[in-house]
Amino acid sequence: MTKRIVAIVFIFLCTAVAWAVLGSTIFYRTYETDTRLEGQVASIWGAPQSQMPPSASYERVELLTSETTENGKKKVVTTKTHVTTLLPLDSSRVDVGLALEHRQTSQANYDDLALTLDGQPVSLKNEKNSTTAHARVEAGKTATLRVGYLSRGLSTWTYSFGQEVAQVRDFQLRMKTNFKDIDFPQNSLSPAENRDTPEGKELVWSYKNLVTGNNIGMAMPEKLQPGPLAGRISYFAPVSLFFFFFLMFIITTLRGIELHPMNYFFLAAAFFAFHLLLAYLVDHVSIHAAFAICSAVSIFLVVSYLRLVVGIRFAAVEAALAKFIYLVLFSYAFFFKGFTGLAVTIGSILTLFVVMQMTGRIRWAEKFANNK
């Protein structure tokens, strides 16, 4: 019995190493391709965007006088100097509409850019990475500046108050999305209001007098990526195999069924076949179709093999059910973001309960003594 357990553990460890290599290969292939294509996608569709608040300033002319001596005579020289003074923003009202549309494909693309001052259009001028406009405003008068544009980008949208800690007065940003799965970038401000709409979400950030070094932002929901998903499932595979081996060992011990370590080797190979096929099939069909095909192939391998080793009843009932639970269901839990760990934990606890009830009256000392 002890030698058989050692052999099974050795087979398990070797298979775990193979899964680690497979998972690393999948991630390398995925991210190497992503890095190579990211620049091309950004140039076509746009990059992650960060919107800065508008800034306003006014120029005044100052006359500076100075005295100089020329040919022994004093001379007064007057020069004109242009002084630029930044104007504070008394209030801001920002409306943002985010429409998620996944594309298969560091620049940003802007369309329908408009700027008005007190309702009157102002001519624009592009300078380096900004757009500027000049207009005359009477001294002491309050002016309302409106800026609007349409744009496309990737991954995230942020409204940045600046690189340093900034003071924000009478600020309100209202954001509407066409998706409900919202997430906020790290170190970003949480909204004061969060409401569901028929299309998605409506979020409001509102501040009277805020001093902050953080930004407002939204991280777009990511489309399910086959490569990283297959890689995570491969890394997790040893857990699935452990539960399957454990349950097979308990059932065969209770029923007096002889399973040689070589039988466990082929069962492990059938498990590995699922992940190996999944790693390359997802490049050609949808992830759901690939998962279904790989599950059917792997279960077929186990059932068709164990019917020859033990019998059709054990192969089609106990083995097939255990394979379905610990390979298919445990792996499919990765499709549900945020619930994978909980699903696996519940499955593990239920397995522990069932095995404890099955083996509660077994005298393990006798079992090991009779199977030396």
Q: What is the mean pLDDT of residues 15-34?
A: 79
Read off the pLDDT of residues 181-212 as tens digits, 9 standing for 90 and up: 888 888 888 888 888 988 888 999 898 888 88
More confident residue, 107 or 173: 173
User: Cα 133 vs. chain centroid, distance in angstroms?
Assistant: 38
Q: 106 pLDDT band (50/70/90 cuts)?
A: very low
Q: Report the pLDDT value the prediction gives residue 224, as an integer from 0 to 100.
A: 65
- Whole-number pLDDT of residue 41: 46
Cα angle 231, 234, 236; round to 5: 115
pLDDT over 90 for what percent of the chain?
15
Beta strands in the chain (DSSP E): 49-51, 56-70, 73-87, 92-98, 109-117, 120-121, 125-127, 130-132, 145-152, 156-159, 166-177, 193-196, 201-212, 216-219
Q: Model confidence at 44, in pLDDT bands (50, 70, 90)?
A: very low
* pLDDT classification of 43: cutoffs 50, 70, 90: very low
Dist CA 294 CA 274 (whole Å): 5
Looking at residue 250, what is its pLDDT? 87
Buried b (16+ CB within 10 A) or exposed e, 319-340: bbebbebbbbebbbbbeeeeeb
Q: What is the pLDDT of residues 289-334, one digit of tens each?
A: 999 999 999 999 999 999 999 989 999 998 999 999 999 998 888 8
Percent of the chain with pLDDT over 70: 88
What's the chain's average pLDDT? 81
∠ Cα 190 149 91 (to 5°): 50
Question: Residues 21-46: what's their mean pLDDT?
Answer: 62
Residue 324 vs residue 87, higher pLDDT? 324
* Annotated domain spans of the chain: 90-219, 224-370
128 pLDDT above the threshold of 70: no
Q: Would you call 176 exposed, middle or buried from its count of C-beta atoms within 10 A (0-12, 13-18, 19+)?
A: middle
